[in-house]
């Protein structure tokens, strides 16, 4: 049925009202052909979004996921589409060269990860999603800082600052329990990095994370400033 439906779309105008996910799905996506992000109703629940939680928690959850999907418009795949959703190069040579270099550095970081003995994450295969995670965290954190500047800082909640709660919330949404076989399959077939790495690797590249938790050289999550990657 799906194959037949795809064939029927050939040589016809793109239907930009079509959804790629059902409303109850707990997920979100960016569609480069439509230049849109879609958030089904299913994702608007904890741990991604909680109307009873404070702003820092929601910025670190659904806010960063929104930023993630927007960043897909500027990852190694989505960046090839223009504002109208057409596959066309709109980059200058200089910008493309710098973007490619930063992407390569990020891919190298993830390729060093070994979730199981002898099993490594493919940094190139997962690059688009990793760019999305890093860009999403940075964008949402900027949003939180603007919110705190406008509305005021509520101070400690449960012993944590807003900045700390933001990063804890981000890590929380990627809590995962998986068998070794599932992890092996994910590394081979899924362009998303395993949840254990999505929780902390993007944060290792965010200066504000170091400030929030007073992370110093020698700490387990420390990366030297010159090796931190910031794309968006």
Catalytic residues, by residue number, are 69, 133
Helix (H) / strand (E) containing 31:
strand 29-31
Phi, psi of 160 (to 5 degrees): -120, 145
Of the candidates 28, 5, 7, the one whose C-alpha atom is nearest the C-alpha of residue 136 is: 28
Radius of gyration of the chain (CA): 19
DSSP helix/strand/coil, 35: coil
Phi, psi of 30 (to 5 degrees): -110, 130
| Alpha carbon distance 152, 148 (integer Å) | 5
Residue with tokens 């418009």: 73
Residues in contact with 186: Cβ distance below 8 Å, sequence separation at least 6, in sequence order: 178, 192, 194
> Chain-centre distance of CA 103, in angstroms?
14
- Start-to-end C-alpha separation, the chain: 39
Helices (H), 19-126: 55-58, 64-71, 93-111
| Alpha carbon distance 39, 202 (integer Å) | 22
Conformation bin of residue 118: beta by default, left when phi > 0, alpha when psi is -120 to 50: left
């Amino acid at each position: 049925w799906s194959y037949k439906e795809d064939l029927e779309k050939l040589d016809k105008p793109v239907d930009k009202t079509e959804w790629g996910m059902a409303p109850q799905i707990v997920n979100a996506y960016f569609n480069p052909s439509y230049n849109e992000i879609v958030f089904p109703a299913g994702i608007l629940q904890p741990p991604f979004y909680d109307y009873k939680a404070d702003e820092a928690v929601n910025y670190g959850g659904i806010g960063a996921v929104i930023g993630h999907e927007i960043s897909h418009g500027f990852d190694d795949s989505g960046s090839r589409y223009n504002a109208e959703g057409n596959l066309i190069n709109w980059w200058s040579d200089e910008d493309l060269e710098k973007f490619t270099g930063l992407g390569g550095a990020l891919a190298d970081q993830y390729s060093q990860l070994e979730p199981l003995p002898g099993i490594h994450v493919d940094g190139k295969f997962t690059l688009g999603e990793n760019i999305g995670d890093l860009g999403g965290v940075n964008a949402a954190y900027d949003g939180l800082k603007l919110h705190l500047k406008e509305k005021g800082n509520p101070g400690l909640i449960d012993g944590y600052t807003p900045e700390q709660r933001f990063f804890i919330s981000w890590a929380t949404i990627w809590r995962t329990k998986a068998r070794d076989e599932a992890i092996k399959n994910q590394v081979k077939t899924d362009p998303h990095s395993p949840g254990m790495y999505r929780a902390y690797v993007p944060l290792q590249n965010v200066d504000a994370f170091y400030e929030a938790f007073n992370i110093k050289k020698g700490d387990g999550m420390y990366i030297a400033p010159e090796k931190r990657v910031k794309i968006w």
